[in-house]
Amino acid sequence: MGDSEGHPRSSGSAHDAWATPERRALRDLVADFTTREVVPHLARWEDDGALPRALHARAGELGLLELGFPAAAGGVGEHLDACLVAEQLILSGGSSGVCAGLFTHGIGVPHVAAAGDPDQIARFVAPTLAGRMIASLGVTEPGAGSDVAAITTRARREGDEYVVDGAKTFITSGTRADIVTTAVRTGGDGHRGISLLVIETDRPGVSRSRLRKMGWHCSDTAELHFDGVRVPATNLVGAEGTGFRQIMVNFAAERLSMAVQAYATAQRCVDLTIDWARTRRTFGAPLAQRQVVRHQIAEMARVTTVARTYVRDVLARWQAGHDVVTELAMAKNTAVAACDAVVDRAVQLHGGMGYMHGVEVERHYRDARILGIGGGTTEIMDEVVAGRIGLDG
């Protein structure tokens, strides 16, 4: 398999920010966590359609959920650390589906943490980072996906409460979430009328139904309905009318995380395919000795390495405060394209075994398909790039 820094059979650089002694130790922790507490149970969780709450509690005990959050909200480290955890979890035999279900708090409460309200941090952020609460994000609606400014879920103010009516769909961890940071319309049309409101899912008027998906089977997804749900005004995140901006700010971190999951999935499939090609014999010789196979795996390794190198570079510049909006979109699409190509080749080179349910490359093939949709579709990313390189004049 590739080494602990995710590089295919190479030592990496001593100056690599991903390979400091502290981060090597973090990798070892995640690898052990994944090997012991994820891999033996993953097939069952896939069949169950959800992760157990105990996994969140264990991840919280190990400090894996607080990474990348501000210290004022009980967090530690940088976004790179959170990405490293997801990368290593996949490299150690987990999946992007596990990342989606276990680390949903990465999209569920950053807005709350950034707003800095001590009461909200105590009620929502702290227990989530400790693994005692599950948080999700509710933006997408049956009639509004990438066009966030078009949401229709309404929250009208009545005294010290908001009354919420509407629906959200494709909500990750939606069947298990204790809280949903929800995009609601508190004002007029367009993005200026959008606010964020934390809605506890045990409030009267909240209902949810499970959605079945092509992949990410262990990550539950739901449609949520709000029918006259009364929510205290103290659950408003930031000021009214600032919800759209808060959502857009966090999109950068989400897109980087998905790009990391994409190249990590590709690397895992490269490693699995190398091992398969070395052991699988046809016509008296290992597949690894067939030139057509060797060259395909070499190409898989090439596109994976290029994607990893570029995504990490963009992440470093983003953390340094540079304007990398264009590069963020390019990085996500680059990693997704590499992942799509590699998982396809991995299944093909595994032959009939690669098509069998429960074989790891088959799961990665299914799981990878969402990466070009979630966090901003490939087409939306291309439009971001097109607008930023001068095509609009």
Residue 163 has a CB neighbour count (10 Å cut-off) of 16
User: How far, in Å, CA of 65 to CA of 52, rounded?
Assistant: 15
Nearest to residue 128, comparing CAs of 141, 111, 143? 111
Q: Which two tokens stand for residue 16?
A: 């690599």
DSSP 157-199: EETTEEEEEEEEEEEETTTT-SEEEEEEE-SSSSGGGEEEEEE
Residue 63 to residues 29, 126, 150, Cα–Cα distance (Å): 10, 12, 37
Looking at 254, 299, 360, 383, which residue is catalytic? 254
- Distance (Å) of CA 217 to CA 90, 213, 244, 260, 369: 15, 7, 30, 20, 12
Distance set, CA 139 to CA 2, 108, 195 (Å): 37, 10, 11
Listed residue (134, 85, 79, 141) closest to 109, CA to CA: 134
Nearest alpha carbon to residue 52 among 197, 141, 173, 196: 173
Is residue 360 flagged as an active site residue? no
**Residues pairing with 163 in the sheet:** 156, 230
Please report where in the chains the tokens 């304007």 appear, as a residue.
323
Q: Which residues contact 125 (CB under 8 A, 6 or more apart)?
A: 69, 73, 74, 109, 112, 113
347 and 355 in contact (C-beta within 8 Å)?
yes
Residue type, 114: A
Of the CA atoms within 13 Å of residue 58, those in its CB half-sphere come to 14
| Secondary structure (3-state) at 290 | coil
Name, in order, each residue with C-beta under 8 angstroms of 391's C-beta and a sequence gap of 6 or more.
Answer: none
> Active-site residue numbers?
254
